[in-house]
């Protein structure tokens, strides 16, 4: 029993000794606020004795534990604010940190909206929208004015310059003050926008004159800007190739900044004369422009259109049996006169060469109007493409007499064929036979005649009578 009591006492003493060696941790709640307005600061980083404990939430709060037995260092940082540092008692369970905003350099640059050059020597004024504090600076030679501002605050900017419209803008400065740039628009700035009257699309490269003075040439947006006094009338002239010139008085009313000018495409007459290959005017040839049929030629081969919109157009002229003529009309002059020559469509012509007994002759050299065009194949045929007209066709082959014929190809013909029959060289067999018969007859006659000439003459004697009478 004594032993059990002794063992229990030792165990209790050991527990007491162990308890004195373990230090309890302390939970601390940190709240971070803006020193000026008391707003909670989200994203502030909290350090305890140099150790990162995390960042504050949307309510500006962060909780951490420490086991320090004496005062320790607490540090809070946030972009746009000055760093905060302090010594915290070990037994504090809550800390409120109020952070002061740091100052930043805000750079404002102004440019001329027409020349794109910086504007120097103009006053730029900024006003803090929270406390109303104002500051003014003059732009330097680069158009720059620099201000010391507080991070995460809103400011209004005002720029006043002689000859320019008043500029007023609101800007928000965040944790890092980004450079700000503004256009200064000349006072009385006015724009002319030139549009196509039909499509209402911008007209590029149109020259705009106001009061006889060229004010500029339109760009891809069709706009020319200038400076004009308001509540006045101006003579405005706009010119552009392929468009009808514009000349009209325009009233520039007060507070107006833009007016639209519509240009109509110019139109010009187009004349077309159509001939065939022999320079003979063609009647009834069909004419189309940009794929649209517009009419046919008259008895003089002429066709005219009084109003063709300026620009480039494709033109086609066609007639049965002729190759379609294609051309381009660029009607930028006062009128356009085109000449179209139609070439007949070639027809396939088969030249067939045979012997008197109707057997095909291969290798026959074929000429058309004296020009060699090829030789016949194994089937005795040579295929040609000939335009309408009349042709002298000849064939030659060794061992045969040349053969000739005249072939006519009609306009619009789908195909022609011509037959050449070639005779062997020398006399024909019939004639040779006749000559042989004649020779034989002549020879026989000659023999008969010769026999009669060589036979002696015989005399008759009467017996029993002698002497004279």
Residues 195-208: tens digit of each pLDDT: 999 999 999 999 99
Cα distance between residue 238 and residue 295, in whole Å: 35
* pLDDT reported for residue 293: 93
Question: In which band, very low, low, confident or very high, does the pLDDT at 100 lie, cut at 50, 70 and 90?
Answer: confident
Question: 415: helix, coil or strand?
Answer: coil
**Sheet containing 381-386: order of strands:** 381-386, 347-354, 416-421
* Counts for the chain of helices (H) and strands (E), in that order: 2, 35
* pLDDT reported for residue 467: 41
Cα distance between residue 410 and residue 416, in whole Å: 9
Region of 186 on the Ramachandran plot (φ > 0 left; ψ -120 to 50 alpha; else beta): beta
Are the beta carbons of 142 and 119 closer than 8 angstroms?
no
Encode pLDDT of 139-193 as tens digits.
Answer: 999 999 999 888 888 999 999 888 888 899 999 888 777 899 999 988 888 899 9
CA nearest to 186, candidates 149, 242, 228? 228
CA nearest to 339, candidates 390, 281, 381, 420? 281
Q: What letter does residue 450 receive in the DSSP assignment? A: H
Encode pLDDT of 304-361 as tens digits.
Answer: 988 888 888 899 999 988 889 998 887 665 667 889 999 888 889 999 999 999 899 9
* pLDDT reported for residue 332: 60
Are the beta carbons of 151 and 81 closer than 8 angstroms?
yes
Strand partners for 192: 224, 259
Cα distance between residue 392 and residue 332, in whole Å: 48
Encode pLDDT of 434-469 as tens digits.
Answer: 666 777 777 767 666 665 545 454 454 445 444 432
* pLDDT reported for residue 23: 54
Tokens of 51: 């150790």
CA nearest to 271, candidates 307, 233, 245? 307
CA nearest to 141, candidates 167, 117, 120? 120
Residues in the chain: 469
Q: What is the pTM of this model?
A: 0.44
Cα distance between residue 228 and residue 255, in whole Å: 11
The percent of residues above 70 in pLDDT, for the chain, comes to 86
Question: In which band, very low, low, confident or very high, does the pLDDT at 396 lie, cut at 50, 70 and 90?
Answer: very high
* pLDDT reported for residue 334: 62
Q: Alpha helix (H) ranges present in 141-272?
A: none
Cα distance between residue 380 and residue 403, in whole Å: 14
CA nearest to 369, candidates 323, 414, 317, 404? 404
Res. 427: pLDDT tops 80:
no
Domains along the chain with CATH numbers: 27-99 (2.60.40.1120), 103-184 (2.60.40.10), 192-263 (2.60.40.1120), 267-342 (2.60.40.10), 347-421 (2.60.40.1120)
Q: Interior CA angle at 253 toward 249 and 258, to 5°?
A: 80
Q: What letter does residue 98 receive in the DSSP assignment? A: E
Q: What is the mean pLDDT of residues 378-397?
A: 92
Report the chain's mean pLDDT, rounded to a whole number.
85
C-alpha 258: how far from chain center: 31
Res. 57: pLDDT tops 80:
yes
Tokens of 291: 């794929």
Cα distance between residue 160 and residue 166, in whole Å: 5
Burial annotation 331-362 (CB, 10 A radius, 16+ → b, else e): beeeebebebebebbebebebbbbeeeeeebe
Please state, in angstroms and as integers, the Cα–Cα distance from residue 142 to each residue in 40, 110, 119, 313, 340, following that order.
40, 9, 7, 53, 65
Q: Interior CA angle at 111 toward 107 and 112, to 5°?
A: 165
Are the beta carbons of 228 and 210 closer than 8 angstroms?
yes
Cα distance between residue 17 and residue 10, in whole Å: 11
């Amino acid at each position: 029993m004594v032993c059990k009591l002794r063992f229990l006492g030792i165990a209790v003493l050991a527990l007491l000794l162990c308890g004195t060696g373990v230090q309890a941790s302390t939970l601390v709640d940190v709240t971070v606020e803006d020193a000026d307005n008391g707003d909670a600061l989200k994203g502030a980083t909290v350090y305890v004795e140099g150790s990162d404990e995390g960042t504050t939430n949307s309510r500006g709060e962060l909780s951490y534990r420490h086991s320090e037995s004496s005062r320790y260092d607490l540090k809070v940082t946030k972009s746009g604010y000055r760093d905060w540092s302090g010594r915290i008692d070990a037994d504090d369970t809550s800390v409120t940190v109020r952070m002061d905003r740091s100052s930043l350099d805000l750079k404002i640059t102004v440019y001329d909206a027409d020349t794109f050059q910086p504007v120097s020597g103009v006053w730029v004024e900024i006003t803090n929208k929270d406390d109303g504090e104002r500051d003014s600076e003059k732009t330097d030679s680069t158009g720059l004015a620099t201000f010391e501002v507080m991070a995460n605050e809103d400011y209004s900017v005002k720029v006043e310059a002689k000859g320019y419209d008043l500029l007023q803008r609101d800007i928000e400065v965040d944790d890092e003050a980004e450079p700000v740039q503004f256009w200064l628009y000349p006072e009385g700035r006015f724009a002319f926008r030139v549009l196509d009257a039909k499509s209402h699309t911008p007209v590029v490269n149109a020259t705009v004159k106001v009061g006889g003075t060229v004010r500029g040439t339109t760009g891809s947006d069709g706009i020319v800007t200038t400076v004009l006094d308001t509540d006045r009338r101006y003579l405005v002239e706009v010119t552009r190739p392929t468009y009808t010139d514009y000349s009209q008085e325009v009233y520039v009313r007060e507070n107006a900044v833009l007016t639209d000018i519509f240009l109509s495409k110019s139109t010009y007459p187009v004349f077309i004369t159509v001939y065939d290959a022999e320079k003979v005017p063609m009647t009834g040839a069909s004419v189309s422009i940009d794929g649209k049929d517009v009419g046919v030629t008259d008895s003089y081969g002429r066709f005219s259109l009084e109003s063709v919109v300026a620009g480039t157009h494709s033109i086609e002229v066609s007639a049965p049996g002729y190759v379609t003529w294609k051309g381009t009309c660029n009607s930028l002059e006062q009128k356009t006169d085109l000449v179209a020559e139609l070439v007949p469509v070639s027809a396939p012509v088969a030249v067939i060469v045979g012997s008197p007994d109707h057997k095909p002759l291969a290798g026959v050299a074929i000429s058309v109007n004296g020009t060699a065009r090829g030789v016949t194949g194994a089937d005795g045929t040579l295929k040609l493409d000939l335009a309408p007209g009349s042709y002298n066709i000849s064939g030659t082959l060794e061992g045969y007499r040349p053969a000739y014929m005249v072939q006519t190809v009609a306009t619009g013909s789908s195909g022609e064929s011509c037959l050449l029959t070639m005779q062997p060289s020398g006399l024909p067999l019939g004639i040779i036979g006749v000559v042989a018969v004649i020779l034989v007859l002549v020879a026989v006659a000659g023999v008969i005649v010769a026999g009669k000439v060589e036979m002696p003459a015989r005399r008759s004697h009467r017996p029993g009578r002698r002497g004279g009478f």
